[in-house]
Structure 1
Amino acid sequence: MGVFVSHYGWNSMLESIALGVTLITWPMVADQHFNSKLVVECGIGIQVCERRDGILDKQRVKEGVTLVLSEDKGKLMKRGAEKLKDMAGKAIVSGGSSNTNLQDFVSDIHKLQMARTVAREGSLKAPKDDCVLKII
Structure 2
Amino acid sequence: MTWTVAIMIVIGIFFKLLMSPPNALVAWFLDKFELHQKLDSEDVTVTFNGKNLEEEEKIRFIEYFNEANFLKKHYIFPGNEKLFLHPETNVTPFVINLKKGKKDVNFFVYNPDNHVDVVKQWKKKVVSYSLRSDDLQKFNVN
* TM-score exceeds 0.5: no
Structure with more helix by fraction: 1
Q: Normalised by the size of structure 2, how large is the TM-score?
A: 0.22
Q: TM-score, normalised by structure 1?
A: 0.22
Per chain length, whose mean CA-contact separation is higher, i.e. which structure has more relative contact order (CA < 8 Å, sep 6+)?
Answer: 2
Greater strand share, structure number: 2
